Structure 1
Amino acid sequence: EDGAKVATVGISAFAVEALTDLVFMQLPEVGKQTEAGESFAEVESVKAVSDIYAPVTGEVIAVNESLPDSLETLGEDPYGAGWIAKIRIADEAGLAALMDKAAYDKQCAEEG
């Protein structure tokens, strides 16, 4: 809307695998303002509670309401139906700092 870009945000398959046995998800509120690099949601596994960090600065315009009741979707389809929130991007300048999938996969392989 109004030419604004929207980011669909979730967690990667690598992160889902590292977390294992997810038991709870705290979604952000629609309307919440996000800052790139700041926590905006949480996921809890049997091992730990992990923050989910916003990759972009903007406003949460939608959340995946079905996710807390079907956490298996994060593992089954993290890049599709397992999305967490949609954020209207306020500052496109920060987009250049984000990794693409190939760079992320390479980093995960090196750390992994």
Structure 2
Amino acid sequence: MSVQFSKDHEWINAADQAAAVVGITVHAQDALGDVVFVELPEVGKTFAQGEVAGVVESVKAAADIYMPVNGEIVEVNEALRDDPSLANSDPLGAGWFFKIKLSDPEQLSALLDEATYTAFTQE
């Protein structure tokens, strides 16, 4: 399974549904500018799709991080907490925010593929 995107500018890679990886998109980090702080959710906490699961702050603004699907937080990126600039330098890799156990894998079908997301960001 490839990476999918939400209209709230999060990405999710659910290749491993026991620990799907979530982060912010390149578009989001470009809009935010230099990320200086991240507030990550607690491991074990469950969120519904669309709920605020964290916050990212930059020199320009602060933005909420929304859950792209229902799930339970199983891991957070401690390296990102220590070095928030990873969200800028490698948003689709080392700059991931958290991993979740999916509650409803069917929700993935409502997310956008890369081409659709790119078109969405250019509207």
- Structure 1 residue corresponding to 2:30, chosen from 17, 42, 45: 17
Q: With structure 1 as the length reference, what TM-score do the two structures score?
A: 0.89
Aligned residue in 1 for 2:107: 94
Equivalent residues in 2 for 1:1-112 (5 A)? Answer: 4-110=17-123
Aligned residue in 1 for 2:11: none
Runs of 4+ aligned residues of structure 1 deviating over 4 Å after TM superposition are none
Q: Quick one: structure 1 residues 77 and 99, their matched pair in 2 at CA, closer, same or farther if it must change by over 3 Å? A: same
Counterpart contact for 2:34–2:88, Cα < 8 Å: no
- Unmatched runs of 5 consecutive residues or more in structure 1: none
Q: Quick one: structure 1 residues 65 and 96, their matched pair in 2 at CA, closer, same or farther if it must change by over 3 Å? A: same
Root-mean-square deviation (CA, aligned residues, Å) is: 1.5
- Unmatched runs of 5 consecutive residues or more in structure 2: 1-15
For 2:78, what is the secondary structure of its paired residue?
Answer: coil
Offset of residue 55 of structure 1: 0.3
Counterpart contact for 2:75–2:99, Cα < 8 Å: yes
Q: How many residues align?
A: 108
1:34-75: CA deviation from partner (whole Å, max 9, x where unpaired): 111110010011222210000010100000001022122111
> How high is the sequence identity, in percent, across the aligned residues?
48
Q: With structure 2 as the length reference, what TM-score do the two structures score?
A: 0.82
